[in-house]
């Protein structure tokens, strides 16, 4: 990855820490909540901060806030006047990373996942009620950075509109995904799958691109074009993620846990369309894995079935092609380099 990215990533970390400090500092508390009743203590606020802060500190690629900054720089170079200064652009990166963090905590609850980034999921560590409430709060807390900007009310409203619109799409995509994994006999079409992923995974990439473009001086319509490209790239990365889950296993998780969760990933969909008569086999494997857990023989049996007709390889090729083709559309060597560098070597 470009050495210059490390400077930007360090800046992003500083702004994320400032937006969500480890303790309920007085200035931060006032910015976030305004004046609170006397009975509220730092210990109460800690129940909101800690589950989110713990997950953020476990790492993550941070490619979404980095995309925001790269889009800002690209737009700024194309326009005589940017809407935000560079410092202000960095200050809105929590909009992307906090939304992503909140979605991961809620996703683990909905999928009953045990691990996230190699550690117990937040709902296991902090309790379902605390984790769910903290994640819900973080979606709203993310927008506090907009309130701090010294820009026009019209421009603030534009940022709010982009954020709220993309978050609504995110939850629509999750609703589609939940419906399919709660109904073992339902196998979506490829078109339905791509629509779900474009909403669920692609929407945060779209959010990053749109925010960066608007911050750099593009109008709403121009930003939407790049947001759509970014959401397509999000589809590619989700497909690659699906494939990794069925091959080496995703970092911090166990190989095949998508099967346990009943996820209708692209390799599953490709196989179900090629072998309509075998849908019952896939359904049976996923139901058994759901009941017996990740150690169930049904997990490996399902993966072997998918491997018999190169469905996993076909999905990997589709994902990589989507990323390559759409990365070029940004007409930015830095953005293209970012996305290509994130494709695992095995899929390039």
**What is the distance between the alpha carbons of residues 48 and 21, in angstroms, rounded to a whole number?**
11
**What is the distance between the alpha carbons of residues 263 and 257, in angstroms, rounded to a whole number?**
9
- Residue 120's SS3 state is strand
Digit-coded pLDDT (tens) for 66-82 = 999 999 999 999 987 88
Is pLDDT of 2 > 70? Answer: no
Residue 1: the pLDDT is 53
**What is the distance between the alpha carbons of residues 66 and 69, in angstroms, rounded to a whole number?**
5
Residue 285: the pLDDT is 96
Residue 311 buriedness (CB in 10 A; 0-12 / 13-18 / 19+): buried
Superfamily of domain 3-347: Farnesyl Diphosphate Synthase (1.10.600.10)
| Contact criterion met (CB below 8 Å) for 199 and 207 | no
Place of tokens 């692209």: 266
Query: Per the structure block, which two tokens stand in for 167?
Result: 């978050």
Residue 113: the pLDDT is 87
CA nearest neighbour of 256 among 316, 291, 303, 187: 303
Digit-coded pLDDT (tens) for 194-223 = 999 999 999 999 999 999 999 999 999 999
Angle between helices 153-182 and 202-215 (to 10 degrees): 170
Angle (CA) 156 42 31, round 5°: 15
CA nearest neighbour of 238 among 294, 315, 308, 314: 315
Digit-coded pLDDT (tens) for 257-305 = 999 999 999 999 999 999 999 999 999 999 999 999 999 999 999 999 9
How far is C-alpha 232 from the chain's CA centre? 13
SS3 content of the chain, % helix, strand, coil (to 5): 75, 0, 25
**What is the distance between the alpha carbons of residues 241 and 249, in angstroms, rounded to a whole number?**
9
The end-to-end CA distance of the chain, in Å, is 15
**What is the distance between the alpha carbons of residues 76 and 68, in angstroms, rounded to a whole number?**
12
Q: Where are the domains of the chain?
A: 3-347
What does the pLDDT average to over 55-76? 96
Digit-coded pLDDT (tens) for 117-165 = 989 999 999 999 999 999 999 999 999 999 999 999 999 999 999 999 9
Contacts of 257 (CB under 8 A, 6+ apart): 113, 245, 249, 250, 294
Q: In this predicted model, which residue has the larger pLDDT, 191 or 249?
A: 191
């Amino acid at each position: 990855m470009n050495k210059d990215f490390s400077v930007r990533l360090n800046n992003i970390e500083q702004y994320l820490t400032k937006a969500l400090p480890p303790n309920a500092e007085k200035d931060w508390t006032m910015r976030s909540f305004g004046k609170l009743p006397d009975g509220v203590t730092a210990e109460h606020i800690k129940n909101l901060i800690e589950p989110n802060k713990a997950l953020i500190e476990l790492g993550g690629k941070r490619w979404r806030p980095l995309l925001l900054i790269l889009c800002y720089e690209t737009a700024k170079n194309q326009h005589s006047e940017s809407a935000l200064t560079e410092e202000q652009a960095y200050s809105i990166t929590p909009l992307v990373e906090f939304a992503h963090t909140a979605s991961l905590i809620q996703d683990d609850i909905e999928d009953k996942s045990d691990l996230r980034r190699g550690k117990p999921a937040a709902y296991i560590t902090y309790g379902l009620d605390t984790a769910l409430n903290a994640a819900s709060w973080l979606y709203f807390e993310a927008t506090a950075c907009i309130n701090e900007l010294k820009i026009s009310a019209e421009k603030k409203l534009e940022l709010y509109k982009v954020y709220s619109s993309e978050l609504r799409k995110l939850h629509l995509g999750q609703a589609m995904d939940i419906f399919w994994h709660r109904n073992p006999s339902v196998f979506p079409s490829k078109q339905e799958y791509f629509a779900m992923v474009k909403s669920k995974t692609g929407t945060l990439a779209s959010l990053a691109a749109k925010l960066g473009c608007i911050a750099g001086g593009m109008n709403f319509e121009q930003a939407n074009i790049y947001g759509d490209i970014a959401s397509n790239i999000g589809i590619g990365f989700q497909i690659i993620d699906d494939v990794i889950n069925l091959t080496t296993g995703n970092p911090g998780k166990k190989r095949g846990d998508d099967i346990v969760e009943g996820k209708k990933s692209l390799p599953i969909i490709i196989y179900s369309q090629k072998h309509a008569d075998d849908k019952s086999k896939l359904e049976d494997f996923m139901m058994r894995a759901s009941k017996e857990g990740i150690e169930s023989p049904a997990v490996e049996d399902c993966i072997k079935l998918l491997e018999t007709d190169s469905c996993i390889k076909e999905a990997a090729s589709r994902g990589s092609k989507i990323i390559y083709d759409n990365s070029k559309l940004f007409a930015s060597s830095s953005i293209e380099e970012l996305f290509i560098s994130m494709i695992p070597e095995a899929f390039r």
